[in-house]
C-alpha cells in the first residue's frame, strides 16, 4: 500500500498552497503507506505516524516530478506524480469570444475608414479602455449564414490590427459554424488543414502580431489523439465549460447521459473533471497541456448571474488565481435570431466585477494561463 493523498497528478500550485521564495515553492506532501514501510520522498526519509507519511519538498522548476518510494518485507513500491509551480502567481482573467466571422463580413462590405468605426470592435475597444480587458476572438473561415469567406476580407486594415494587437488577438476556431461538433470525429489532416487556413488568412490581413494560438476548438470536442495537432501549432491550453458534461442529441433534443468521460470537455475522464470543478485548472503531463474550466457564458447568463457566479467562484477559489470570461460573437448582431440587446452590458459586468476583485487581464495562451513569470 502506497498512495499520495495531499496532491494529485497534474495539480497546479502557487504561493497559496505553500511557502514561496524567489527560487522555490515549499509544500507539504502527505500520504499513506503500510506502517512497517520505509518511505522516502525524492530520496529523503519521510516522517511517519502509523500509516501516515509526510515530508516537506521544494519545487524549483515549472514542472516537477515527485517520487515517493516504500520498502518493506513484501518488496519495493513507488508512486510518481507531476506538479506545476505557478510562480509569482496573481489573480488574472482572460476574455474569449468564440464563433467570430460576422464582424469581418460587415467590415469587408462596408469598408469603414477605421476598424473601430464598426460597432463590435468599437465596443470591445471601449471595454479595453475602461477595464484593460484583452480579447481573443476565435474565428471561423466561413460565415454559413451569409456565404462570406475570410479570403474576402481586405488587407488594408493590417496596420490597425497590429496597432491594437496588445489587447486584441485573433485565432482559429473552426472552418465554419456548421455542422455542429466538427472535430468530434475528424482526422488530423482535416483539423490541421482548417487551422492552417484560418491562421494564414489572419496573418495575411492582420499580421503575425495579431494571431495567437487557440485555447479550444468549436464545441470543445476534440479526441486526445488529435491534441498533438494543436500543440504542434502552439496551443498550450484547452478551455471548456463542459467538464462533467456528456450530451447526445435524440430527435433534435439535447439529452444528458452518464459516462466515464466528458464529450464537451475534450473527452477527459471524470476524475479530471471533478478536480477541475474544484480547482478550475489542471496540467495533463501525458499531452503537455493545461486545462481550464469556464463556469459562466455571457450569452447564456444574465448580468446578475454573471456577477454572482464570479464572486462565488472568487470566494471559494481554493488557491486558483485564474478565471475566464466567455461569450459568442453572433449574439451581438441584430440580424441574428438570438440577438441580445444587452450583449455588451453582459461582457462589461464580467470585466467590471473581475476588475473590482483585482483580477488582471491576460491572454491564457501566454505562459501559465497568462502568467509569464517563467519566461522572465
Task: Give the pLDDT band of residue 48 (cuts 50, 70, 90).
Answer: very high
What pLDDT score was predicted for residue 248? Answer: 53
**Residue 111: what pLDDT?**
98
Write down the pLDDT at residue 271: 84
In which residue ranges of the chain is CATH 3.20.20.370 found? Answer: 92-375
pLDDT band at residue 264 under the 50/70/90 scheme: low
Looking at residue 360, its pLDDT comes to 98
CA distance 176 to 360: 32
What's the predicted TM-score (pTM) here? 0.92
pLDDT tens, position by position, 93-145: 999 999 999 999 999 999 999 999 999 999 999 999 999 999 999 999 999 99
User: What pLDDT band is residue 258 in, cutting at 50, 70 and 90?
Assistant: low
The CATH code belonging to domain 2-85 is 2.60.40.10
In sequence order, what are the residues at sequence separation of 6 or more whose Cβ sits closer than 8 angstroms to the Cβ of residue 208?
none
According to DSSP, residue 165 is labeled T
C-alpha cell at 6: 495531499
Spatial contact of 212 and 169, defined as CB atoms under 8 Å apart: yes
Q: Where in the chain is the domain with CATH 2.60.40.10?
A: 2-85
Helix (H), strand (E) counts: the chain? 8, 22
**pLDDT attached to residue 372:** 97
Whole-number percent of the chain with pLDDT over 70: 94
CATH classification for the domain delimited by 92-375, as one of 3.30.70.260, 1.10.1660.10, 3.40.50.2000, 3.20.20.370 = 3.20.20.370
Q: What residues contact residue 220 under an 8 Å CB cut-off, 6+ apart?
A: 238, 239, 240, 241, 242, 264, 265, 266
Percent of the chain at pLDDT > 90 equals 85
Q: What is the pLDDT of residues 192-218, one digit of tens each?
A: 999 999 999 999 999 999 999 999 999
What is the average pLDDT across 45-62?
98
Q: Where are the alpha helices (DSSP H) in 69-223?
A: 102-110, 119-131, 158-163, 188-206
Q: Higher confidence at residue 151 or residue 319?
A: 151
When the pLDDT of each residue in the chain is averaged and rounded to a whole number, the result is: 94
Q: Taking 80 as the threshold, does the pLDDT of residue 265 lie above it?
A: no
Res 247 pLDDT > 60: no
Amino acid at each position: 500500500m502506497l498512495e499520495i493523498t495531499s496532491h494529485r497528478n497534474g495539480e497546479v500550485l502557487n504561493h497559496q498552497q505553500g511557502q514561496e521564495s524567489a527560487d522555490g515553492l515549499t509544500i507539504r506532501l502527505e500520504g499513506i503507506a503500510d506502517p512497517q514501510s520505509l518511505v522516502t520522498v525524492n530520496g529523503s526519509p519521510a516522517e511517519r505516524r502509523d500509516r501516515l507519511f509526510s515530508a516537506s519538498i521544494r519545487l524549483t522548476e515549472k514542472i516537477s516530478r515527485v517520487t515517493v518510494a516504500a520498502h518493506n518485507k513484501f518488496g519495493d513500491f513507488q508512486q510518481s506524480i507531476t506538479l506545476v509551480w505557478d510562480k509569482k502567481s496573481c489573480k488574472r482573467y482572460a476574455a474569449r469570444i468564440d464563433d467570430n466571422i460576422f464582424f469581418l463580413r460587415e467590415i469587408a462590405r462596408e469598408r469603414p475608414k477605421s476598424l473601430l468605426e464598426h460597432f463590435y470592435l468599437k465596443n470591445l475597444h471601449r471595454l479595453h479602455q475602461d477595464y484593460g480587458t484583452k480579447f481573443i476572438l476565435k474565428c471561423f473561415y466561413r460565415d454559413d449564414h451569409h456565404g462570406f469567406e475570410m479570403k474576402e476580407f481586405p488587407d488594408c486594415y493590417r496596420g490597425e490590427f497590429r496597432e491594437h494587437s496588445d489587447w486584441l488577438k485573433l485565432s482559429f476556431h473552426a472552418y465554419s459554424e456548421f455542422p455542429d461538433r466538427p472535430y468530434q470525429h475528424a482526422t488530423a489532416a482535416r483539423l490541421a488543414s482548417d487551422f492552417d487556413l484560418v491562421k494564414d488568412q489572419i496573418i495575411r490581413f492582420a499580421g503575425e502580431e495579431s494571431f495567437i494560438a487557440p485555447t479550444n476548438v468549436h464545441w470543445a470536442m476534440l479526441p486526445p489523439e488529435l491534441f498533438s495537432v494543436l500543440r504542434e501549432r502552439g496551443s498550450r491550453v484547452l478551455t471548456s465549460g463542459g467538464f462533467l458534461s456528456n450530451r447526445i442529441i435524440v430527435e433534435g433534443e439535447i439529452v444528458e447521459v452518464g459516462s466515464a468521460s466528458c464529450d464537451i470537455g475534450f473527452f477527459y475522464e471524470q476524475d479530471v473533471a471533478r478536480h477541475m470543478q474544484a480547482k478550475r485548472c489542471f496540467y495533463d503531463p501525458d499531452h503537455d497541456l493545461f486545462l481550464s474550466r469556464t463556469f459562466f457564458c455571457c450569452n447564456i447568463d444574465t448580468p446578475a448571474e454573471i456577477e454572482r457566479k464570479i464572486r462565488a467562484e472568487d470566494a471559494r477559489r481554493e488557491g486558483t488565481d485564474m478565471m475566464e470570461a466567455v461569450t459568442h460573437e453572433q449574439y451581438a448582431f441584430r440580424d441574428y435570431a438570438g440577438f441580445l440587446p444587452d450583449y455588451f452590458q453582459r461582457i462589461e459586468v464580467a470585466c467590471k466585477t473581475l476588475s473590482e476583485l483585482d483580477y488582471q487581464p491576460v491572454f491564457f495562451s501566454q505562459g501559465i494561463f497568462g502568467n509569464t513569470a517563467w519566461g522572465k
